[in-house]
Structure 1
Amino acid sequence: MANVKNILFIMADQLRWDFLSCYGHPHLDTPNIDRLAGKGVRFDRAYVQSPVCGPSRASCYTGRTVFSHGSTWNRVPLPIGELTLGDYLRPAGVTTAVVGKTHMVPDAEGMARLGLNQSTDIGVKIGQPGFDPYERDDGLHPTPLLRKRPKNLRYNEWLNEQGYEGENPWNDYANSAEGPDGELLSGWYLKNSNLPARIKEEHSETAYMTNRAMEFIEEQGDKPWLCHLSFIKPHWPYIAPAPYHDMYGPETWQPVQRRSEELEDPNPVYKAFTGARASEAFSRQGVRETVMPAYMGLIKQIDDHLGRLLDWLEETGRAKDTMIVVTSDHGDYLGDHWMGEKELFHECSVRVPLIVYDPRPEADATRGTASDALVEAIDLVPTFVEAVGETPAYHRLEGQSLSPLLHGKPEAEWRDAVFSEIDYAFYGAREALGTGTDDSRGYMIRTEDWKYVHFLGFPPQLFDLQNDPDEFNDLGRHPDYVERRAKMHQKLFDRLTARKNRITLSQEQIDAASNKEEESGILIGYWE
């Protein structure tokens, strides 16, 4: 089998799986992502390891669950010993770079313990995390936060060069609108979401990051590369440049998915999250209606720029040996289930789009098909490692290579459940519930027919996905489902105990070292 030379790993932040036309949205037309699906495989049941930016991405980059790698939230560093995509692909001579968001912080304490700092080559790679530095931009730059950072934001410097004045044009132009009297209307406020951003579309974050990805690819020449093009949108601030800000009116919005019964004697953890500011906002009349045009417009803008990028790859001949992946780090409630943001485990939050184009001839049989296999974000690392001709380190990696599914040769025993988790110690929900920082945890296991969520110290949630696909009826305390809950709890326990924590020795090394005491002169249990 020939190897893939290059990998274009595209991730959109907070993109729901069902807001693409190839996944069935009737009004949001995304022809370029659809075009990629027509040449590759569309995975219809793909799930993230945590419906929060940082831990989800840490799992995408390590191939390990949050429970294993320990970066449980946005501000929790990935431990210095964890290997990431760059570590796995460098032995194959692949340059790995991020263009856009990672939402991860370096393990400063671990680096200091080893005498490392980010001014050294190895320190830079650890701080990225694991990627070669290029254009990292996490896309959250309110002015007070920007002033605390030691370096200027490159995007801001570029905007200044284009004629946008001030110390923070990211905030004042790219993510703000203008009022009738010239006043600044911040995109941080949801009421301004349906107004056009004060920036030309070609200068927006999506356009800029697409350009930078193309520049990175061009600079590599004939050398193999992985470009992680990590779009900052459609994540909040929900605000889009013209003409994308008002492309989608009420006739294009899908009905909100919520019922009053969900709020009648709800699960305590779910109730605490429905009381969060974002959830209360999106539950009010008018808020979702104001945000929806921007959210949909930002997705349309991403699709348009991906079309520009895909055309360029084809015109330059790079598409023929480049694996291309489009996915998201989590979804967005947008008022569904009386929620805003993400965090919990309803499908609109934890399920993501995943489209993989494999250029190798072995994938010809599956082009344009859809797979209903239960796949996870941690499957991407072993897929990429195997694609470039390396052997996945399965003593450490917890995902499974998607190559058999891409090549029409499914493994005999593919997983029958997907797993995700949340550390809500950093949320107001913890204070509302009175839980400790180590006890504010939730774990999801989802099979073909059932979804079970275990919250430490609280009743579970249980959903019958065959009879209640919209997850309106929580059976977590229903007396008729005691046995089903017990079975799902056992399946969750089995998944948690199957994590990979012996990561320094491979299976082959263990086999070679087993039962070798006599050869070393170590005689245990002998009488004579």
Structure 2
Amino acid sequence: RKITIRLGCTIILSSIIAIPVYSSVANKRPSANIKNVIFIILDALRADHLGIYGYHRNTSPNIDKIAGKGLVFDRAIVQSGWTKSSIPTYFTSTYPSIHGVIETDDSFPKNFATMAEIFKYNGYFTIGLVDNVHISPLFNFNRGFDIYEELKDDEIIEGLRSILLNHYSAGLLDLDDLDEPKKNSLIQALKRSEKYNLVKNPGFEEGNTGWKSPRNCISSSQSRTGTKSAHINKKVFPSNNFWHLNQSIKLKHGCDYIIGAFIKTRGLSKDVTMGMREGKNKIYQYSQIGHLSGDNDWTLLAGIYTPYVCDDNYESEVIIRPGRMLDFIGGECWVDDVFVIPLSRVIEQGLPSPADKFFFYVHLLDPHAPYTPSGHYLRFGQRQGEVDMIDRYDGEIRSLDDRLGLIFDEMEAAGLLDESLIIITADHGEAFGEHGFKRHHANFCYEETVHVPMIICNPELVTSPRRVMGPVPAAVGLLPSLVDILNLKLPPGVKFQGKSFFRDKPEPSEPVFFYQGPYLKMVTDDRWKYIGDEYGISLGDVEIIGKSVAGGGAQMTVNPPGRSGTEYIADEEELFSSNLYRQHSRKIQDKIKQVFRAADRNLHNFGDRKEALLFDLKNDPGEMVNVADKYPRKVEYFQNLMREQRAADRGFKGRAGLISGGKVKITNDIKKKLRA
């Protein structure tokens, strides 16, 4: 079976109630009426460029409209600064130091239950539509998904729209999963849609008219409807085959069609399938649907097909081959009532849904760089024809918002918003030179790259629009929050590091952490942000810490059980000759070297200084004045918090264990995609 998918108003901030973090923000009860959970990631979207977060430009009227009906988290903080590490934290509720997906070639870990696996465990049909090669099936990010496709943004939006509004799109029809009542419903829907059939002479009532066919293949011996069918009996005509029973049909590029035939077999020695061929200039794609052998009464072989090749008229020539066989040796086969019908027409006639509940993970690449909105969206900041980086970024947000708005409006008209839980957030933010760098990077801890939108909307769970004040850990906290409010059951042994946003007895002003690769780097609360100068990781029971030094190098500490050592190291040459390094195994040496390099660089881009940073966000929201020297006790408080968190990570890692997904060889083709 071929699986392919080709697939407002501005809210006034003062109209939304501001409430403390973790207060009764949602009605926590079993949510039987929620049939769709839609988790939308907008890549590189910073919160302060949306209207709902106070942005002065009208970039997001449709997202603002959804936010105005739901729950808005004022300060949602991600736990990593780039996609590759951030998404595994969303998927598993574990920090980067635990899940270990840090580098470009890292694959998803094998032993941590994913968000999709948990939803599937609870009876949801799971669908992932993504536009980012870092989280493609190549790196095993498709674990737990019934369907996981890497597509372009426009294809994702159209695919999501088609599935939500029709409950079917390419790849969702699998007859093996349909019970008899649903199969009968499908057959009735096909019958009611016969007038839209694109196949000429589908029941062979006019002989082989419209068909290329082997000789003597039209028969009256058996038929499903009418009086005739296509028939092969190897005993009577040993040279006959259905290889050449075919018809050419023009299909519109990007549209979904349901293609199939009814087939009967007797004593068939090899499989018979419903086959398609598409392409030109001797470059073809072959697809097939279903298979039958042995003895079968009239059986429907059908699937959903989307043409992938188009000419100047946006059409594609598809050769359908009903009853295609390979190495046909003996037995009989009949083919009748062949059809190619636009899927939308079949849906209108009552195509049954493949599942009662859906979980969607939608990862859109916009507004990620390069910022290339169409001309219509280059409306912001034009000064005599000039458009700068921020203007283009905002244009991409508005373009994306308009496309999402079409889906939201259609869902509302169809009554689907009431039965859908929508989560809108981002994997990280984006910088425009506020602290000396642009775009984003795993190293950067400032608000422009770590503060993302977090919007949760469903009228049953959130009965009135509300805002949650204070910081929340967006990535590590979302999954346990969904488990909490949807009353999901967990597979045996599943543990989270994050806690639900909606739990009953939270600790006051809980800190939120951010990791620079595997290193705990930043902690923040409702007023302060501390960016540390220490880099610490553990390997088994050995802890390795590197502390940055203003003049270069690092103060290195290695703490194996029963003994520890601390030494200032100026450079790598000195490191390699030190007893601190040489006394350990090669595996630990590699980690010591890794930590030293991180501490020596200490990339937080705050001037040329390497010391720890403390910002008073209440009086300095732009994070421009380091007040660490002014508040030494506050620095000590946050340092202790980070030490406690590193110890908690070590404990969790020891209990959970990590079965790495390994490394993926990055070929030149993959490099091109990663750079795109």
Question: If the length of structure 2 is used for normalisation, what is the TM-score?
Answer: 0.49
Match of 1:336 among 428, 434, 453: 434
- 1:454 partner amino acid: G
Match of 1:292 among 390, 401, 405: 390
**What is the match of residue 458 of structure 2?**
358
**What is the match of residue 18 of structure 1?**
48
Q: Is the counterpart of residue 493 in structure 1 residue 643 in structure 2? A: yes
- 1:445 partner amino acid: V
Q: How do 1:364-443 residues align onto structure 2 when only pairs under 5 Å count? A: 364-391=462-489, 396-398=494-496, 400=498, 402=500, 404=502, 411-413=505-507, 416-423=510-517, 441=519, 443=521
Structure 1 pair 504/101, CA: closer, same or farther in 2 (3 Å)?
farther
Match of 1:136 among 140, 149, 152: 149
Deviation at 1:18, TM superposition (A): 0.3
Taking the aligned partners of 2:501 and 2:490, their CA distance within structure 1 comes to 12
Tell whether the 8 Å contact from 1:41 to 1:370 is kept in structure 2 after alignment.
yes
Deviation at 1:393, TM superposition (A): 7.3
Structure 1 pair 503/217, CA: closer, same or farther in 2 (3 Å)?
farther
Give unpaired runs (5+ residues) of structure 1. Answer: 107-123, 138-203, 252-287, 424-439, 507-528
Structure 1 pair 449/336, CA: closer, same or farther in 2 (3 Å)?
same
**What is the match of residue 446 of structure 2?**
346
Taking the aligned partners of 1:398 and 1:126, their CA distance within structure 2 comes to 22
Taking the aligned partners of 1:364 and 1:466, their CA distance within structure 2 comes to 29
Structure 1 pair 80/395, CA: closer, same or farther in 2 (3 Å)?
closer
Match of 1:308 among 389, 401, 406: 406
- 1:347 partner amino acid: E
Q: Is the counterpart of residue 101 in structure 1 residue 131 in structure 2? A: yes
Taking the aligned partners of 1:443 and 1:217, their CA distance within structure 2 comes to 40
Taking the aligned partners of 1:396 and 1:473, their CA distance within structure 2 comes to 42
Taking the aligned partners of 1:69 and 1:94, their CA distance within structure 2 comes to 25
**What is the match of residue 289 of structure 2?**
none
Match of 1:472 among 624, 645, 656: 624
- 1:486 partner amino acid: E
Deviation at 1:387, TM superposition (A): 3.9
**What is the match of residue 271 of structure 1?**
none
Taking the aligned partners of 1:321 and 1:77, their CA distance within structure 2 comes to 35
Match of 1:249 among 381, 394, 398: 381
Structure 1 pair 216/365, CA: closer, same or farther in 2 (3 Å)?
closer
Secondary structure of the structure 2 residue equivalent to 1:238: coil
1:40-98 superposed Cα distances (whole Å, 9 cap, x missing partner): 01101101110111101111111111111111244322221122111111111112221
1:332-372 superposed Cα distances (whole Å, 9 cap, x missing partner): 11121121122311101111000001332xx3454244443
- 2:421 partner amino acid: M
Tell whether the 8 Å contact from 1:46 to 1:351 is kept in structure 2 after alignment.
yes
Structure 1 pair 25/103, CA: closer, same or farther in 2 (3 Å)?
same
Taking the aligned partners of 2:457 and 2:500, their CA distance within structure 1 comes to 11
**What is the match of residue 483 of structure 1?**
633
Tell whether the 8 Å contact from 2:74 to 2:470 is kept in structure 1 after alignment.
yes
Tell whether the 8 Å contact from 1:43 to 1:353 is kept in structure 2 after alignment.
yes
- 1:47 partner amino acid: I
**What is the match of residue 185 of structure 1?**
none
Secondary structure of the structure 2 residue equivalent to 1:49: coil
Deviation at 1:224, TM superposition (A): 0.8
Q: How do 1:84-163 residues align onto structure 2 when only pairs under 5 Å count? A: 84-101=114-131, 103-104=133-134, 127-132=140-145, 134=147, 136-137=149-150
**Number of positions where the alignment pairs a residue of Structure 1 with one of Structure 2:** 362
Taking the aligned partners of 1:209 and 1:332, their CA distance within structure 2 comes to 22
Taking the aligned partners of 1:243 and 1:487, their CA distance within structure 2 comes to 51
Question: If the length of structure 1 is used for normalisation, what is the TM-score?
Answer: 0.62
Tell whether the 8 Å contact from 1:102 to 1:136 is kept in structure 2 after alignment.
no
Tell whether the 8 Å contact from 1:51 to 1:422 is kept in structure 2 after alignment.
yes
Match of 1:233 among 366, 373, 391: 366
- 1:475 partner amino acid: V
Deviation at 1:499, TM superposition (A): 3.1
Taking the aligned partners of 2:492 and 2:446, their CA distance within structure 1 comes to 30
Q: Is the counterpart of residue 318 in structure 1 residue 416 in structure 2? A: yes
Give unpaired runs (5+ residues) of structure 2. Answer: 1-30, 169-354, 534-608, 657-676
Structure 1 pair 395/339, CA: closer, same or farther in 2 (3 Å)?
farther
Taking the aligned partners of 2:642 and 2:75, their CA distance within structure 1 comes to 18
Taking the aligned partners of 1:101 and 1:66, their CA distance within structure 2 comes to 22
Structure 1 pair 303/91, CA: closer, same or farther in 2 (3 Å)?
same
Query: For the aligned residues, what is the CA RMSD?
Result: 3.1
Higher strand share: 2
Tell whether the 8 Å contact from 1:376 to 1:399 is kept in structure 2 after alignment.
no
Tell whether the 8 Å contact from 2:513 to 2:520 is kept in structure 1 after alignment.
no
- 2:360 partner amino acid: C
Structure 1 pair 103/395, CA: closer, same or farther in 2 (3 Å)?
farther
- 1:421 partner amino acid: Y
Taking the aligned partners of 1:464 and 1:322, their CA distance within structure 2 comes to 39
Tell whether the 8 Å contact from 1:397 to 1:500 is kept in structure 2 after alignment.
no
Deviation at 1:394, TM superposition (A): 11
1:162-214 superposed Cα distances (whole Å, 9 cap, x missing partner): xxxxxxxxxxxxxxxxxxxxxxxxxxxxxxxxxxxxxxxxxx94433210112
Q: Is the counterpart of residue 445 in structure 1 residue 523 in structure 2? A: yes
Secondary structure of the structure 2 residue equivalent to 1:227: strand
Match of 1:214 among 158, 161, 164: 161
Tell whether the 8 Å contact from 2:94 to 2:498 is kept in structure 1 after alignment.
no
Structure 1 pair 82/364, CA: closer, same or farther in 2 (3 Å)?
closer
Taking the aligned partners of 2:491 and 2:611, their CA distance within structure 1 comes to 37
Tell whether the 8 Å contact from 1:55 to 1:66 is kept in structure 2 after alignment.
yes
Structure 1 pair 23/396, CA: closer, same or farther in 2 (3 Å)?
same
- 2:97 partner amino acid: F
Secondary structure of the structure 2 residue equivalent to 1:451: strand
Tell whether the 8 Å contact from 1:62 to 1:82 is kept in structure 2 after alignment.
yes
Runs of 4+ aligned structure 1 residues displaced above 6 Å come to 503-506
Further displaced range: 128-137 or 84-93: 128-137
Further displaced range: 60-69 or 441-450: 441-450
Taking the aligned partners of 2:497 and 2:420, their CA distance within structure 1 comes to 22
**What is the match of residue 200 of structure 1?**
none
Taking the aligned partners of 1:129 and 1:458, their CA distance within structure 2 comes to 39
Deviation at 1:218, TM superposition (A): 4.7
- 2:51 partner amino acid: S
Taking the aligned partners of 2:60 and 2:528, their CA distance within structure 1 comes to 31
Secondary structure of the structure 1 residue equivalent to 2:649: coil
1:290-343 superposed Cα distances (whole Å, 9 cap, x missing partner): 222221110001111111111122222222121001111111111211211223
Structure 1 pair 353/393, CA: closer, same or farther in 2 (3 Å)?
farther
